[in-house]
Each structure stands twice: as structure tokens, then as C-alpha cells.
Amino acid sequence: MGTIGVIQFPGVNCEVETARSIRGLGYRAEVVRWNRSEGLLDRYAGFILPGGFSYQDRVRAGVIAAREPIVETLSEAAERGMPILGICNGAQILVEAGLVPGKTNRVEAALAPNLNGVRTGYSCQWVWLRADGSNTFLANTLADGAVIPIPMAHAEGRFVSSDPARFDEFSKRGQIPLRYCEADGTIATEWPSLPNGALQAAAAVSNPAGNVVAMMPHPERAAYLHQVPDWVPVWGSRKRSLAAGDPTGLFEAGPGAKILEAFCLAVEGGVQ
């Protein structure tokens, strides 16, 4: 079983809970500082870029971290087929580095400020995600059409392109593995189900090979059942019943664990 490297850029703040959630699934994870690029491809079998505010999101989110030498190492890892997952700020870094959508190794998309018709700026809420047919590692645990609740928290999470038709192409190629949706799985078209106005309701975008995924919602914040609010259908009612009978059950896997486990299974399976 390979070890997963969780990259800690200056200003990120989710590396500890991300690594803890990976370990809770029975896999190995280590927090890796951004200035350690030597030997990473030999030491680790996959990488996660966690959420936070790398370099205080100066200029725009993720753009400074995307210029760090370690990202060149991640680019090589991507070319080798190693699994890479960027979460929130990590997703912004992958997009700014051109690793996602990744067809030309140039920046082909952006994560723009939220646009929902109600307010702008930072937004923190629970949303529903639907798995759409893709060739990404997410298919390891999420069947096409599966719906899960998950929290999001960002100010610049709107997947866009200067040519919106590019997202039609990404969709046809299976590069939009997760979309914002209603609780019944209907693709979201407006706020609050579509929290940021992303094209194609994209909550995640991958590279063509499917081994690099950039997603805005936070799976590590829903990795355990006790993290799920009581009002969330199915998951919340299950949480209440366990709390009344067996509180230790609150540490069972939550909906976000499905995404993290999918990544871990890809790491365990080796290069795609």
C-alpha cells in the first residue's frame, strides 16, 4: 500500500484533517511541506492538495502556489498516471498550473469569484453532488448518478472559461465527474443548489486521463458521520439514530469518505 502525500503550501489549513481522514480509511498519509520536492515521486504513490488560502490568496486564489517548483514534480506525477486530488484551494492550484483540464499543459479554465444572483464573496454551505459518468478514479466508489451531500466553503469556486463551449467539450469527454444538483439528482441551475454559478454546474473537473481531479467541495469535512448536520436527509437521520443507541457509530464513514476512498483505491491500484 503506497503512502499519500498531502501537500502543505503556506496558508493552507486543511492538511491535518485531510491526512487524518485518509488514515481513518486505513491508508497511509503524510503531510509534505511545499519546499520538499526531492524524491517525492519515489516516496509517495499519490498526492492531495488540500484546502485553505495558499499565500493568502493574493493576486487570485492558487496562482502563486501554482508557480512553486513542487508543482513541476506534480506535473511529472500526473504524466506518470499517479492519482492527484485537489480540494478547494488545491483545485485552484491545479487549474492555475494547467494540470486541469490538462489537455495542452496551459491554463484552459479558471475558478472565478462566486456568482449566484444573491450575493458575492465567500460562501459556506452544504450542497448536493451528482456523479456523472467519467473515467476518473471517482468511479471507484461513486456509480454514475450517485448523489451525496457535502460541504463547500470558497469565494472563488466558479469553474469558467473564456470560451464556454470548452466546458461542453469537457462534459462530452467525461471530464466533469461531479456536478452540483438537487437532492433528487436533478442538475442544479440556480442558487442555492448551484452555489457559485459554475459552467455545466461543475463541482469538479479532471484532466483527460482521469487521474487528476480538481474539486471545490470539501470531502474531508464530511468524512465522518458526526460531521453531517441532522437535517441532511438519510445521513442526518442515521446520525440521530446512532447517537441515541451507539455514539461510537458517529465515527462511521460519512458521505465525503466515498470520494477520499475512491482516491485511495486509485493509489492502491498503482499508476493508471
Catalytic residues: 88, 218, 220
Q: How far apart are CA 253 and CA 178, in angstroms?
A: 20
135 exposure class (CB count in 10 Å sphere: 0-12, 13-18, 19+): middle
Please list, residue by residue across 9-42, b when 16 or more beta carbons sit within 10 angstroms of its beta carbon and e when fewer do.
bebbebbebbbebbebeebbbebbebeebeebbe
Contact 168, 117 (CB under 8 A): no
Report helix angle 15-24 to 256-269, nearest 10: 70
Closest by alpha carbon to 15, among 5, 24, 2, 25?
5
Q: How far apart are CA 42 and CA 24, in angstroms?
A: 24
Q: How far apart are CA 84 and CA 205, in angstroms?
A: 12
CB atoms within 10 A of CB 271: 13
